Structures are given as C-alpha cells and as structure tokens.
Amino acid sequence: MRIVAVGGGDKTAAIKAALQDTENTRTLIIPSACSTERSYNTKVPKIVKFFRDLGIACTVLHELQETPSQTKIAEEFGQAGLLYVIGGHTPTLLSRLTEHSTGQAIIQAVVHDNKIIAGVSAGALAPFQVIHSNPSKKPGEERWDFVYLDGLSMLGAVATAHANQHDQTPAGPRPDTRMEHLLANFPADRVSTGIALDNHAALIVNGDNSFVVLSEEGERSGANVHVLASEGDRIIATPVEDSTHITAVINDITPGR
C-alpha cells in the first residue's frame, strides 16, 4: 500500500519522494472536496499546473457538479498510477466519495492494485479510519467545533492535518492547536492510535517502509508527523523519530497485517 499524506503547505518534496521508483506516474486528480465554484476554479488549475510542471501527465475526474459514470471511473482509475485527492471541505469530500462510488474505487486501487493515493489536508486524511476535521467552510465567520468523520479505513487510526495550526473562529484564533484538541478529545472508543500531520510535513507509506518528508519550510519550522497513543490513563503525542519508528506504527494500524 502506498500513501502520501501531507498535513498542509508545500507538497513538492513529498510527491517527488513518492514517485521516485514509480513507473506509471500518470495522475488522476480527484476534486471532490471542492465545495464551491470558486474553490474548484482556483484549486483544479493550480494542481494541474503543479503536475505538468513536474512533467507528469494528469487528468481531472469530474467537473464541479458532475457525477462521473462508472465507466469513466473505471477507465480513469485504470490508467492512473497516482490518485491525487485535492484538499478542501472534508464533509463534502466524504459525501461525494460515497455518492460517486469513488471511495470503493480508491480502496481497490490502493489496497489491491498498488496505486498511490496522495493528498493535502482533507485529501491526506481520506485513507484513515477516523478523520478529525474542522467542518466549517467559513470558520472565521460562524461558530463551529471539531468533528470526527468516517474515512476509508485503509489505516486504522484517527488522523488530523494542519496539526500545529490554531484555526480561526469569529473571536480570533483558537487557543489550542488541532493536535492539542485531538489529544484532549481522543476517540479511544474507536481507535487506539492517532496520526497528527503538521503543516509542511508528510507521511509517506511505501509498502513495508514508511517515513516522513519535510518541505524546506518544514525543516526550518521544526514540523513533523506525530504518533498519538495511550500512556497509562492519558494520550500522549510522540514526534516520529525515524523510519523504523513510523514503519512499526503503520504496520500496526494496517488492516490484515
């Protein structure tokens, strides 16, 4: 199984690392997290340019309000070596993955056909069992709180992106980061492990080897991926130490291992 989960920020180093030993780099862009016309028209051309600037051929699975046919899904997934899930509004993403049946197509492609799934923010969290998410489209203008959503369960853990970020509210930035909120409200009745992805940090799962890749900004800011687990009667967060550490964690949360 091959996964590229970027917490936020620059994804270039993570995508390049994932594609190093990949023969089929053709990329299918899945824009289902784009909930508005403005979001779609901003993010889709930008990510298409990103891949083309890397010399990678890419196609987009659907227009904003289009429901792709099962024939189109089968053809596009069959040709692609990498599935890139655009970030955006997580509840919209998960709803459309179900509505379009692309969720099951992703699982088949990644778990059984050895294709890569990659994404930033909401797109990074899709492979996990439980997603810790800010559900608001305008967090600085309305009252909201974090929610827990059902992901695709390719990894049996709860995950949060932008882990070192203080989200906006109408009263200003929250006092807690996303990871701090997850630590204080850990869904222990559902999972025993959490993964927190800082901005500019990426978790790379490549079969039996997992590791962390940082952007240049991530290197400067001390970003990392963190593993959340119980210690006695509390949940603690441990920064990933090395490939051996995170590989053991990922092997433990991969169903069927």
Residue 219 to residue 145: CA distance in whole angstroms: 30
The whole model's pTM is what? Answer: 0.96
> Quick check: 136 pLDDT over 90?
yes
**Domain chopping of the chain, boundaries:** 2-253
pLDDT tens profile 42-92: 999 999 999 999 999 999 999 999 999 999 999 999 999 999 999 999 999
Pick the CATH number of 2-253 from 3.30.70.60, 3.40.50.880, 3.40.50.1360, 3.40.50.1970: 3.40.50.880
Six-digit token pair at 108?
Answer: 């088949």
Number of other residues whose CB lies within 10 A of the CB of residue 222:
12
pLDDT, averaged across the chain: 96
Residue 203 exposure: Cα atoms within 13 Å on the Cβ side: 36
